[in-house]
Structure 1
Amino acid sequence: MSEIKMANASNNSTEQCNPPYSESEQAVIAMYSIILVIGLPANILTAVLTLIQIRRKNVLAVYLFSLSISELMYLGTLPLWILYVKNGHNWIWGPMACKITGYIFFNNIYISIFLLCCISIDRFIAVEFSLESRGIRRQRVAILVTCILCVLVGLTHSPTFIFNDGEKDGDPCFEKLPMDPLIARFYFARFVIGFLIPLLILIFTNYTIKRRIETSSSFTDHQKTKVKWLARTIIIIFMICFAPYHLVLLLRAIMFSLDNANSCSFEEAIYTTYSAFLCLVTMNSVADPFIYVLVSENVRKDIYKALRGWRSQVFVNIKSDNSTQHNIQNSTEQQAEKQTSTQLMDFP
């Protein structure tokens, strides 16, 4: 995996960096492969289930659906990143493929982070201002917020397409070292705007939700425990997936600013750690569906209904196959299909 280079101006130092790519190669390939195998079906399931909820006018489902689509776009680029790492960090698919995959990767990080903030803010508003928020918490508002967010993040990283990364076969894709001074400043901004502020938002909103639910008499002890567990899990997963990566970016920017003439030695020393933390960012593609969807009571009911309908249909088909009466078979299969459709759409 790689870091997007936002400028191609020459560095003050002419030193050539030689990161130890081989040290993390096998671990990165294994991690990306596991994430792809698990994350792809998990996010497809998330997209389908949240789309059903969108049709039922669920506001939160808009953010969840957008999050799953963002994750699926990124997961679609993982095979190229796996081959790139396996090929010794030599890009052989041309400059446009490099730019597109890098652009998707970089956008995915911050679209995911900001959508997680939107989800937490939406839950916070629903709990803290349950009556006042009726005019605000609408699907149109959620769609508008999501579109604005994606456009802003996309425009921020659009300069990716004007640079010459991956122009020649065998070049690295967005891993040119040493970094440019503009990149160091950009890392500072990413740490503050893309990590620190979202972290504070998540802590505040989830703590407030937990506190309000605990003092409410309208929730059972089981529901209160679930909300408390979910609030803690959100913060922990966010810290595991994004904190190490952004701390390394901050450290790289600080070290470059202090001594950019000798930055290569530091970049080479920290590269393996950086690669490991980049894998943690990718793990977010697997964590999100399980946190926000599979813990949902409504979504679990949809899954159970779908499974029951599928089992009923399989049983009826087997029984019908053993029957010699073709008309009875067709009638039974139609009844099973109707039952499955009803169970999928009959959502309390």
Structure 2
Amino acid sequence: MGLILHSVTPVLTSVEYSPEVCSPSMPYEDSRILLVVCYSIVFALGLPANCFTTWLTFVQIRRKNVLAIYLFGLSLCELMYLSTLPLWAIYVQNQHSWEMGSMACKLTGYIFFCNIYISILLLCCISIDRYVAVVYALESKGARHQRTAIFITFFLFSAVLVIHCPVFILQDGEQTSNRTTCFETLPLNLQLAYFNLARFLIGFAIPCTILIFTNYRIFQSTEISSSLDKRQKAKVKYLAMAIITIFLICFAPYHLVLLIRSIHFLLHQKDSCSFEQHIYSTSAAFLCLSTANSVADPIIYVLASEHKSRRVPCVKSYHKLPA
């Protein structure tokens, strides 16, 4: 599936090579058990965890908690993706042969794309919100509103959903007698390679910079605070560390593969299939890490909710930290 799920704009439909020229010789069997087990475990653990988190964050929203808006959106996003995991497991088990029709393929691919970038953007929103509430506690007092958080979340969802709508008209999702795979473009083409570079920059590198900067400043402000006790400082740091860790473990390897595959294709177009065969198993393992995000995200709620429930004082004054 997802090393693999790379075409998201109409211009990517024109290719220099047959889009499945590498498929017959790809080492699908090497990663079959890993992917099926990964999808099964993530589905079994992630579905109840995110259902519970969705309900808890909804309760917090009714109590006028601003951060709960982003956490609620994150949980909904994960539930949307978790609903497709059984289909991906069946696909992988069937030797990457999609037997559920073109529309089902396009819909599951669409959800995969949207899940990655909605999750990344919402993690950025959570980090920025904590950055403002902690580093600029006095300045932001009374300035953070649920309406603003709802608007931002709705805008992010809408933008990502609209941007990925071209998935429904791409040839990669069509199921014909000559195509049985689902969104597996192997090897790449020039348009796809350039687009993957843009995905790495805009979808990963820039958000990563934002996350590192905001959480580093949170660490600094917490360290010099005289109003937080040792345990309270630890809770603030654990939340920041959890966000950065989830981002780097779940999304960094996947986007690193995008970068490496794209650069290699641009430099060695005639030898692309050979390289794709060598990197496929590694890419499958990185795909498992990105899927594990659906299990890891509820951890953020656990840390954030305990932090909020104890109403930790802000680091610049003795006012309480906004929720």
TM-score, length-scaled by structure 1: 0.82
Amino acid across the alignment from 1:291: I
Q: Give the Å deviation of 1:294.
A: 4.9
Question: Which residue number corresponds to residue 233 of structure 1?
Answer: 242
Q: Give the Å deviation of 1:209.
A: 0.9
Q: Give the Å deviation of 1:96.
A: 0.6
Does 2:128 match 1:126? no
Question: What does 1:253-268 align with in structure 2 at a 5 Å threshold?
Answer: 253-268=262-277
Amino acid across the alignment from 1:168: T
Q: Give the Å deviation of 1:295.
A: 5.4
Question: Which residue number corresponds to residue 10 of structure 1?
Answer: 15
Question: Which residue number corresponds to residue 314 of structure 1?
Answer: none
**Kept in 2: contact 1:4–1:160 (CA 8 A):** no
- Take 2:203 and 2:181, find their aligned partners in 1: how far apart are those partners? 25
Secondary structure of the residue aligned to 1:228 is: helix
- Take 2:266 and 2:18, find their aligned partners in 1: how far apart are those partners? 13
Question: Which residue number corresponds to residue 203 of structure 1?
Answer: 212
Amino acid across the alignment from 2:277: E
- Take 2:307 and 2:221, find their aligned partners in 1: how far apart are those partners? 22
- Take 1:47 and 1:236, find their aligned partners in 2: how far apart are those partners? 22
Does 2:175 match 1:167? yes
Question: Which residue number corresponds to residue 81 of structure 1?
Answer: 88
287 and 235 in structure 1: CA distance in 2 versus 1, 3 angstrom threshold? same
Gaps of 5+ in 2: 311-323
Does 2:51 match 1:44? yes
289 and 103 in structure 1: CA distance in 2 versus 1, 3 angstrom threshold? same
- Take 1:265 and 1:96, find their aligned partners in 2: how far apart are those partners? 31
Range with bigger deviation, 289-298 or 41-50:
289-298
Does 2:69 match 1:69? no
Amino acid across the alignment from 1:246: H
Secondary structure of the residue aligned to 1:293 is: helix
**Kept in 2: contact 1:128–1:212 (CA 8 A):** yes
Does 2:280 match 1:271? yes
Range with bigger deviation, 256-265 or 42-51:
256-265
Question: Which residue number corresponds to residue 314 of structure 2?
Answer: none
Amino acid across the alignment from 2:241: R
Cα displacement string for residues 290-335 of structure 1 (whole angstroms, at most 9, x for unaligned residues): 133355316889xxxxxxxxxxxxxxxxxxxxxxxxxxxxxxxxxx
Amino acid across the alignment from 1:269: H
171 and 154 in structure 1: CA distance in 2 versus 1, 3 angstrom threshold? same
Aligned match of 2:185 in 176, 182, 198?
176
Does 2:244 match 1:220? no
Question: Which residue number corresponds to residue 312 of structure 1?
Answer: none
Cα displacement string for residues 154-194 of structure 1 (whole angstroms, at most 9, x for unaligned residues): 22211101113242266100002112211101111111111
Cα displacement string for residues 1-48 of structure 1 (whole angstroms, at most 9, x for unaligned residues): 231423221215799213210000001100110000110011001100
Amino acid across the alignment from 2:170: F
Q: Which has the larger radius of gyration?
A: 1
Question: Which residue number corresponds to residue 120 of structure 2?
Answer: 113
Gaps of 5+ in 1: 302-348
Question: Which residue number corresponds to residue 324 of structure 1?
Answer: none
Question: Which residue number corresponds to residue 306 of structure 1?
Answer: none
TM-score, length-scaled by structure 2: 0.89
**Kept in 2: contact 1:12–1:261 (CA 8 A):** no
Aligned residues: 301
**Kept in 1: contact 2:121–2:207 (CA 8 A):** yes
Does 2:248 match 1:243? no
Secondary structure of the residue aligned to 1:88 is: coil
- Take 1:25 and 1:82, find their aligned partners in 2: how far apart are those partners? 9
Question: Which residue number corresponds to residue 288 of structure 1?
Answer: 297
Amino acid across the alignment from 2:262: A
Cα displacement string for residues 46-68 of structure 1 (whole angstroms, at most 9, x for unaligned residues): 10000000000000000000000
- Take 1:280 and 1:155, find their aligned partners in 2: how far apart are those partners? 26
After TM superposition, which residue ranges in structure 1, 4 or more long, deviate above 3 angstroms? 12-15, 298-301
Larger RCO of the pair (alpha carbons < 8 Å, separation 6+): 2
